[in-house]
Amino acid sequence: ALRIAPDGVRVAAGKVGPDGKNGDIWIFGSSGPPVPFEVGTGYSAGSPVWSPDGARIAFWETRDAGVHDIFVKPVNGNGQSELLYKSAFAKYPTDWSPDGKSLLFGEYTPYSKSDIWSLNLSDKRASTILNTIYSEGYATLSPDGKWLAYQSDQSDRNEIFVQPWEGGTSGTKRIWKVSPAGGGLPRWRPNGTELFYLDS
């Protein structure tokens, strides 16, 4: 997976390491060689997500018995990665709220497929946003922070849905299906006027 930085110049991307097994994260710019970000750790890392100010990147890494836990690390300097959230199940970050206060992530569980969670970065408390019998994931917030887009298989195939974002609270909300014939991996246009996704 690759993600464009808020400056529109840099890209964070995962690629297979020299051992052919573990994944690394690199930062690519418009010129010059790629810069190693989370490379050669002996663990797999992936799903990089930039903070709104472009100063940090959140990602998953498999440090504890291969479980995907969520870490964050400064982009510049020699700062160490910090564990943000740990649980027994695999997780992957998907978006950072525009105000920088919350991190969205998906979590795979054996009893509810994939669910959408929000991590409050001030107290490291996680709360479920969508936790149903369906598989919901790849959540992303609109640039104004008012709308949550995600993919779900609640209509027997992956489709893109949008619902209001109310600061990480769960519960019943009105939802709109915006993909007419299947879709996945939604992304907002920077001005919030359009939503892009893969047509399935």
3-state secondary structure (DSSP) of residue 32: coil
Q: Which residue is listed with tokens 């995962």?
A: 14
How much is the pLDDT for 170?
67
How much is the pLDDT for 86?
95
How much is the pLDDT for 175?
92
How much is the pLDDT for 54?
96
* Rounded Cα gap, residues 117 and 135, in angstroms: 13
How much is the pLDDT for 110?
82
How much is the pLDDT for 77?
75
| Tokens representing residue 143 in the block | 């640039």
How much is the pLDDT for 41?
84
How much is the pLDDT for 30?
83
Q: Which residue is listed with tokens 């009105």?
A: 174
For the chain, which ranges sit under pLDDT 50?
none
- 84 Rama sector, left if φ>0, alpha if ψ -120 to 50, beta otherwise: alpha
34 near 26, Cβ under 8 Å?
yes
Closest alpha carbon to 1 in 143, 161, 182, 184 = 184
DSSP string, 134-145: S-EEEEEE-TTS
Q: What is the pTM of this model?
A: 0.92
